Each structure stands twice: as C-alpha cells, then as structure tokens.
Amino acid sequence: MATSADFKPFESRDKEGNIVGFDIDLANLIADELGYKLEIQDMNFDGLIGALQSKRVDMVMAGMSTTEKRKKNVDFSKEYHRSGEMFLSLPDKKIESLESLEGKTVGVQLGTIQEEGANELSKKYGFTVKPVDNAGVLIQELLSNRVDAVYMDSVVAVGYRDEQGLFGFDDPTTSSPGMAIAFPKGSDLVDDVNKALDKLEKEGKIKELKEKWKLDQVAIE
C-alpha cells in the first residue's frame, strides 16, 4: 500500500518515524479481515496515481477523494469519509473571506482536489495559486510569509490551525467528493475491500477510528 505521510490525522509520522493515522489504522483492519500482511510505502501525493498505474503498489490510502478525473485512471472502493475545505492564514493577515483573497497568493498541495479547486476559485476571486509538494511544506510556506493563505482539507487544516495558532475559514462554495481507497484499474481487491469496509462499518469499528482521530469534528455527513 502507498500513502503520503504528511496529511495528519489521516497519515503522518510519529516521533519515532512510524507512519500512523486514521488511514493506517483502517488499512490494518482491512488487511486483517482479508488475511494480508500490510506493507506501506511513503511517497509524494502527486506520485500515487502513477504508482497504481504501473502496479508498483496494490492500493493507495492517502485521504484521496474520488474525482471523475481520477476515476479515469484508477478504481475506487466505496467512500469511507467526507469532509470539506478550509483556508488558513496568519492571524494578522485578516483573511476572513474569499473576497479578501484578491491579490494574494494561496498555497496548495500538488495533485490534490484543493489544487483543482483553488485554480477555479482564483479566476473569480483574483488570487495566485502556488502548488507545493506536501502539506508540511505548505504550512512552512505560510509561517514564513511566502504565501498569504493555504487551502486544505478541513480535518487536516483544523489540526494545523490549533497547533500553530492560525486563523481559518471554511470554503462556502464547495462540496467535496468523499475519500476512498484507490486501486489499479481492474483490481480484484476492490470487491473484497468493499466487503471488509461494510463489515467494519456495521461493527462500529470505523466509527471508533473516527472518534480516535477526531475526524467527525468537522466531517460532512
């Protein structure tokens, strides 16, 4: 399985360097259900689809949303989570609305739905989009004043907001597609993984993981 371990609380590295998070816990439960041993590869988010297409990995869990563009290249499981988007800025910037982004630079993570969304919003609200490799770099760009705001998944953004004392406001314009597990086209694993997800959902184990990782605080049901 491949992931991009810079997307806390879905996947990140702990102090010992281990990859942890909601997606990792859920992937391990699925592997246990199906009788597989899980091996995890960490890579940049924008390389995940290519890893599936070349069949270097069997599946991807990385907070990946099920966009129509991605569906042309990979297969997806059923959705396991849905959240929205948020803009973050330094408190003294007073960026409190889409209108206040005019003339500003907004950072996004390369290859994400937020990059696509920001490119569309920039046409109406007059800001510049700056893509970077991962979420950690994105926050450093913000803290170093190299961007005026960043545009991220709401669950991830809330963690950074609280940790760094940032200001955030929800994007009122979007309804995000849900997150799902991605597979190479035609993978035999999809049906088995969907059955495992159904079983874990019925047993309440997915709900327990969402509570553990505090996903439901900003989730869209």
> What's the pLDDT tens digit per position in 114-139?
999 999 999 999 999 999 998 999 99
What is the Cα–Cα distance from 141 to 106, expressed in whole angstroms?
A: 10
Burial of 220 (0-12, 13-18, 19+ CB in 10 A): exposed
> Is 155 in the same domain as 48?
no
> Is 6 in the same domain as 71?
yes
Single pTM value for the model? 0.86
> Is 77 in the same domain as 91?
no
CATH number of the domain where residue 154 is located: 3.40.190.10
What 3-state class would DSSP assign to 146?
coil
Check residues 102 and 83 and name the one with the higher pLDDT: 102
Confidence (pLDDT) at 174: 73
By the 8 A CB rule, do 11 and 23 touch?
Answer: yes
> Is 92 in the same domain as 162?
yes
Instruction: Give domain status of residue 200, yes or no.
Output: yes
What is the Cα–Cα distance from 89 to 41, expressed in whole angstroms?
A: 31
pLDDT band of residue 220 (cuts 50, 70, 90) is very low
Mean pLDDT, all residues of the chain:
95
Q: What is the mean pLDDT of residues 197-217?
A: 94
What is the amino acid identity at position 146? Answer: R
What 3-state class would DSSP assign to 134?
coil
Percent of the chain with pLDDT over 70: 97
Task: Quote the domain boundaries for residue 58.
Answer: 2-81+178-216
> Is 73 in the same domain as 115?
no
Instruction: Give domain status of residue 199, yes or no.
Output: yes
> Is 60 in the same domain as 110?
no
Torsion angle (degrees, nearest 10) of CA 190, 192, 196, 198: 70
> Is 72 in the same domain as 95?
no
> Is 55 in the same domain as 106?
no
Report whether pLDDT(104) > 90.
Answer: yes
Strand 74-76 relative to strand 85-89: parallel, antiparallel, unpaired?
Answer: unpaired
Report whether pLDDT(221) > 60.
Answer: no
Instruction: Give domain status of residue 202, yes or no.
Output: yes
Instruction: Give domain status of residue 221, yes or no.
Output: no
22-34 vs 189-202: helix crossing angle, rounded to 10: 110
> Is 98 in the same domain as 153?
yes
pLDDT tens across 50-101, in order? 999 999 999 999 999 999 999 999 999 999 998 899 999 999 998 999 999 9
Confidence (pLDDT) at 218: 56
Confidence (pLDDT) at 94: 83
> Is 137 in the same domain as 191?
no
3-state helix, strand, coil in the chain (%, to 5): 40, 20, 40
> Is 44 in the same domain as 89?
no
Domain count, the chain: 2
